[in-house]
């Protein structure tokens, strides 16, 4: 089991008011699974993604990752886990504008302390795998939306993470480009990667093996569709 949440609860304080991001969520995801997370805004999708991606910590409950309790890691350890185990793909791409595609893809390896030549080799092959060999030295503003998202995918997979967390990866793309991106995710899954995909498009969600629906911080339904 890769991910196991046990009575996972996240509470935000807004003044004196308690807002539940997650409420007693129990959830397990196996290695190699392809999971879509759906739900209206405020349902806890982002909170879930932040928790799973080590960007945030639970208020109560437990998060077991790869057999280890990672519920209360130090800031330093969180950064370590983000670097080694997570590949993020964002709706808005979040590429660094002043860097080339190659530079952006290199970043996770820089923070891992990988030697420059090894880093460059990995980054090139990651870009090649998303079909961007010819655009490596372009900056984000010289690339189309689809190309930018493919750079982001290359950045997510360059360090061979345990899971890929994609937050509305097609949200800023047109229909056709969005499909291209989803196809890349599909092929990553076929290659054995664990993918957790947050989306509100039913058609996108149906690419996964399993759809988890959230509402008000709780799991509303958890159906296996394949």
Partner 1 sequence: MRYAGVRESFRTAISSLRVRRTRAFLTILGIVIGVATVIAIVSFIAGLDRAVEKEFASIGSDVLYIGKYPWIWTGKWYDYRRRPNITVDIADRLRERLTYAEYVVPEITENGSVSYRSTTVEDVNIVGTSQDYIYIENAEVKMGRFLSEIENARKRHSVVLGWGLFDAFGSDQGIVGKRVYINGRPFKVVGVLARRGRAFGRERDNMVYIPIKTLLKYAKHRQRRSVNICVKGRSIEEIGLLREEVISAMRVIRGLKGYEENDFSINEMSQLLDMYASQTKNIYLAMVLIGALSLLVGGVGVMNIMLVSVTERTREIGVRKALGARRRDILTQFLIEALVLCWVGGVIGIMLGFLLPFLVSVATEFPFAFSVKAVAVGFLFTTGVAIFFGMYPAAKAAKKDPIYALRYE
Judged by the rule CB under 8 A, the positions of this chain that interact with partner 1 are 50, 53, 55-56, 75-76, 79-80, 82-84, 88, 90, 94-96, 98-99, 106-108, 110-113, 116, 155
Least distance to partner 1 from the beta carbon of 155, Å? Answer: 7
Q: Give least dist CB 157 to partner 1, A.
A: 12
Closest CB 124 distance from partner 1, rounded Å: 17
Minimal distance in Å, beta carbon 213 to partner 1? 23
Torsion sign (Cα): 148, 150, 151, 152: positive
Nearer to partner 1, 9 or 210 (CB): 9
Nearer to partner 1, 9 or 94 (CB): 94
Measured from the CB atom, the residue of 21 and 61 that comes closer to partner 1 is 21
Of 33 and 106, which has the nearer Cβ to partner 1? 106
């Amino acid at each position: 089991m890769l991910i196991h949440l046990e009575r996972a609860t996240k509470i935000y304080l807004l003044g004196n008011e308690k807002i539940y991001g997650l409420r007693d969520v129990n959830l397990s995801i196996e290695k190699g699974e392809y999971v879509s997370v759906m739900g209206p805004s405020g349902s806890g999708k982002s909170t879930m993604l932040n928790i799973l991606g080590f960007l945030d910590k639970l208020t109560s409950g437990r998060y077991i990752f790869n057999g280890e309790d990672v519920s209360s890691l130090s800031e330093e350890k969180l950064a370590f886990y983000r670097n080694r185990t997570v590949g993020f793909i964002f709706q808005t791409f979040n590429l660094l504008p002043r860097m080339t595609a190659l530079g952006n893809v290199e970043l996770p390896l820089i923070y891992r302390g990988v030697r420059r030549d090894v880093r460059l080799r990995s980054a090139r092959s990651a870009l090649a795998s998303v079909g961007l060999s010819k655009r490596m030295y372009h900056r984000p503003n010289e690339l189309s939306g689809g190309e930018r998202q493919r750079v982001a995918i290359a950045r997510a997979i360059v360090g061979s993470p345990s899971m890929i967390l994609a937050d509305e990866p097609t949200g800023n793309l047109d229909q056709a480009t969005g499909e291209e991106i989803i196809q890349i995710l599909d092929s990553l899954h076929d290659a054995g990667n664990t993918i957790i995909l947050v989306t509100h498009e039913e058609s996108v969600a149906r690419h996964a093996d399993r759809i988890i629906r959230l509402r008000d911080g709780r799991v509303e339904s958890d159906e296996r569709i394949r």
